[in-house]
Amino acid sequence: PQITVGESVAYSAWLRLPPEVDAKARNEFVNEVLETIELDEIRDSLVGIPGVNGLSTEQRKRLTIAVELVSNPSIIFMDEPTSGLDARAAAIVMRAVKNVADTGRTVVCTIHQPSIDIFEAFDELMLMKRGGELIYAGPVGHHSCEVIQYFQAIPGVPSIKDKYNPSTWMLEVTSTSMELQLGVDFAQIYRESSMCKDKDMLVKRLSIPVPGTSDLHFSTQFPQKFREQFKACLWKQCLSYWRTPSYNLVRMVFITVACIFFGVLFWQKGNINHMY
């Protein structure tokens, strides 16, 4: 709670980037991440305690993304990054996620009841029906045209209404009750589609390593050695204690009282004359 946004990201970068990255390059990368996630304006704000003070829920979610992004991953998985947010906050978070994708990284995330704008911000969609069977895996398209065309091509599926949320319509027309009503199996339809065959071919092609490449290998469990880890943790704890004077005061008072208590309790107990 007593660490700022910028310090939180810098702490993560210190521990997670390889030793070859010097302090100057590390700071530049931290600044770049803060700008990408749009946290540079509040970089000096304390994180605070959730629901009490400090950052809002939406800002905390973006800070969580920044803390992970600073390790420079090529792919990021997110589990419902918009859960618990209102429409405005969810749009801000997803704009930050889109900024990450624009840097060339792959972002894979589950999404719960997205708005039209959020849904159409995605490039690719994987839709599974209840039970975990895949019923669509392909591009979303401009204004969700690819998804809409795919499902409307299935006989009996009702057309989408004007200005209707494509994600809501998609879930409605692929529900279990709709499958029973139409007498179709959307999973079987997908498995027999050209889209599925193309995806299988793509997976097989990408599963073959490029000639001259080698498997990933990490010589150590952690990027930094023990000395650097200790310095980073000590730096963070010193900042936390320095910004919490009330906690330090309680500690000093407690130690003083404990010393007096034990001093009085064992006063002259070691005197040999009192042993007989």
Residues of the chain under the 70 pLDDT cut:
271-276
The candidate with the shortest Cα–Cα distance to 61, out of 86, 32, 28, 26, is: 86
**What CATH number did the domain enclosing 44 receive?**
3.40.50.300
On whether both 85 and 144 belong to a single domain, the answer is: no
On whether both 92 and 22 belong to a single domain, the answer is: yes
Residue 189 lies in a domain: yes
> CA 78 to CA 93: how far, in whole Å?
12
Residue type, 260: I
On whether both 142 and 107 belong to a single domain, the answer is: no
On whether both 4 and 85 belong to a single domain, the answer is: yes
Instruction: Give the model confidence (pLDDT) of 237-276 as tens digits.
Output: 999 999 999 999 999 999 999 999 999 998 877 765 555 5
On whether both 165 and 82 belong to a single domain, the answer is: no
Q: How many domains does the chain have?
A: 2
On whether both 83 and 134 belong to a single domain, the answer is: no
The 8-class DSSP code of residue 211 comes to: T
Residue 230 lies in a domain: no
On whether both 178 and 125 belong to a single domain, the answer is: yes
Within 10 Å of residue 178's Cβ, how many Cβ atoms? 16
End-of-domain residue from the set 91, 112, 133: 112
The 8-class DSSP code of residue 78 comes to: E
- Crossing angle of helices 57-69/5-16, nearest 10°? 20
State the pLDDT at residue 198: 92
Residue 268 lies in a domain: no
Residue 21 lies in a domain: yes
What lies within 8 Å, CB to CB, of 4 at 6+ separation is: 43, 44, 45, 46, 47
State the pLDDT at residue 275: 52
Residue 269 lies in a domain: no
Domain of 86, in residue numbers: 1-112
Write the burial class of residue 265 (CB in 10 Å: 0-12 exposed, 13-18 middle, 19+ buried).
exposed
Within 10 Å of residue 166's Cβ, how many Cβ atoms? 21
Residue 199 lies in a domain: yes
For the chain, how long is the longest CA-to-CA vector? 103
End-of-domain residue from the set 173, 206, 239: 206
Within 10 Å of residue 56's Cβ, how many Cβ atoms? 15
Residue 164 lies in a domain: yes
End-of-domain residue from the set 90, 112, 134: 112
Residue 186 lies in a domain: yes
On whether both 59 and 20 belong to a single domain, the answer is: yes
On whether both 12 and 76 belong to a single domain, the answer is: yes
> CA 81 to CA 31: how far, in whole Å?
23
User: Sign of the CA dihedral 159, 161, 167, 168?
Assistant: negative
On whether both 15 and 99 belong to a single domain, the answer is: yes
On whether both 64 and 35 belong to a single domain, the answer is: yes
